Structure 1
Amino acid sequence: MRLAAALILLLVLAAPASAHVDVSPKVARPGDTVTLTFTVPNERPDAATTALELFLPPGVPARLAPPKGWTSTDRGGGDVVFAPERPDGAIGPGRAQAFKVTLGPLPTADRIVFKALQTYADGEVVRWIQATGPDDERPAAILDLSGNGAPKVDGQTRWPLYVGALVALVVLAGIAGTVIRARRSVKED
């Protein structure tokens, strides 16, 4: 029973990482130039994702690096669109695609909200634009510019990696403890 609870905990902790348009790293400092990775999962089982429209901060220099098989178009004013070169290059159901954007120097602000529009093959557009709180139904990707002492390597903030590793260690320790206790109780019987 405890092993099942530990596995459920692991799945619950991992679930948020697979949903919605996400940005990594999540923390930077004003004045930095960072390479951001926007991860776009296709959450629909019946249609491919055929475009991603991102709204970057206007006036901040951006260098777009579309993934292989995709193109990028800068519409001006911070509005950029990524689209597959061919229909079979779209993001299929249950899959995800990473899009890289080098942005900077970053403005002096507390955060940058990256609104995004995800277009599916059947014409549906999902608007990832809400930035009011953690319970938003369609949350925008947010880059925290407070810095908060996040360690940096080669100009990139790496704290999400450290937090993920710590969570994984805690979960694995819990699972190991549960297995050890279960084996001890079997030996005692």
Structure 2
Amino acid sequence: MRSTPPRRIAGIALATTAGVVALAGPAFAHVTVQPGNAQQGAYTAVDFRVPNESDTASTVKLEVNLPMDHPLASVRTLPLPGWTATLEKSKLDKPIKVHGSDVNEAVSKITWTADAGTKIAAGQFQEFRVSLGPLPTDTESLTFKALQSYDNGEVVRWIDEAKEGQPEPAKPAPVLALAKAAAAAGASPGADHADAEATTSQAIAKSSDSTARLLGVVGIVVGVIGAGVGLLGLRRKGDSAAS
């Protein structure tokens, strides 16, 4: 039987590894909301996760637009060293009632700007935490259109909305899915912000565990292929000695 040259096997190993990594890529390629679900009517804490997709430039600003068709009365940012957060408010066409009081304006945009010497460099990501609530009870999702600015002047607009039955757009807007109280995994209505943040931390830990398992699979694939290359090398050496 004709044996496969080690060089060819090495090429197959690289291609296989690249394929596994490519499958993992989409989970980190977009600006997303983490966790991606919460409970209708509740207060919750979420992270806007921002990966740096450029090999030559760094992210220095993030703008997140909040949905004004479902305004949120309470919006608070968690201080992040090296970044300055600015909240912009807009008047509401129709006041909303929160805890028996009318709310006439709501935060419509949050902008995080990197301080001097701070950036999201190539191969890195950053999470920007926000406390939100009370979440609306008349919709199944909230869309947060975001703009990611790089230090070379490039602006990536994460504003495209996914449509049912169609492929995911190239630059999808971050979406927070909302479930009714009985089906949601988020905080219960009326829960304080500390409880909401604890729920968020557990979800992030779960996400990190999934990432670790995926990287473990990649390591196993590379190890198995490497072992195969080594065994073939020994076999070829043995055949040469025998001849």
Q: TM-score range by the shorter chain?
A: 0.7 to 0.9
Name the TM-score, length of structure 1 as normaliser. 0.77
The AA in structure 2 aligned to 1:36 is V
2:59 to 49, 64, 86: 49
SS in 2 for 1:28: strand
The correspondence for 2:120, drawn from 91, 98, 101, is 91
For the pair 1:23 / 2:33, whether they are aligned, the reply is yes
Which of 82, 85, 107 is the equivalent residue of 2:136?
107
Distance 1:117 1:9, change over 3 A: same
Q: Structure 2 CA distance, aligned partners of 1:26 and 1:107?
A: 15
Q: In the superposition, relative to structure 1, how do residues 93 and 168 fare at CA in structure 2: closer, same or farther (>3 Å)? A: closer
Matched, 1:138 2:171: yes
Deviations 1:8-40 (A, max 9, x none): 564244212221211101011111111111111
Q: Cα distance 1:163–1:47, how it changes in 2: closer, same or farther (>3 A)?
A: closer
Larger radius of gyration: 2
1:30-179 equivalent positions in 2, closer than 5 A: 30-58=40-68, 59-60=71-72, 61-77=74-90, 78-86=108-116, 88-108=117-137, 109-133=139-163, 134-146=167-179, 149-152=183-186, 154-155=195-196, 156=199, 161=206, 165=210, 168=213, 172=217
Q: Structure 1 vs Structure 2: percent identity of aligned residues?
A: 38
- Alpha-carbon distance change, 166 to 65 in structure 1, aligned in 2, over 3 angstroms: closer
Check whether the contact 1:150–1:159 (CA below 8 A) recurs between aligned residues.
no
Q: Normalising to structure 2: TM-score of the pair?
A: 0.61
RMSD of the alignment, in Å? 3.5
1:111-158 C-alpha deviation (Å, 9 max, x unpaired): 001100011112221100011245201111111102583434744366
Judge conservation of contact 2:162–2:169 (CA < 8 Å) in 1: yes
Instruction: Specify the code of the residue in structure 2 equivalent to 1:111.
Output: S
Q: Which segments of 5 or more consecutive residues in structure 2 lack a partner in the other structure?
A: 1-8, 91-107, 188-194, 232-243
Query: Residue by residue, what CA displacement relative to the aligned partner does 1:153-175 show, whole Å, maximum 9, x if unpaired?
Result: 74436668379649948x85xx5
3-state SS of paired residue (1:35): strand
| Contact 1:37-1:98 at 8 Å conserved across structures | yes
SS of aligned partner of 1:145: strand
Check conservation: 1:66, 1:82, Cα contact below 8 A. no
Q: Is the 8 A contact 2:37 2:186 kept in 1?
A: no
Amino acid in the other structure paired with 1:28: A
Q: Which runs of 5+ in 1 are unaligned?
A: none
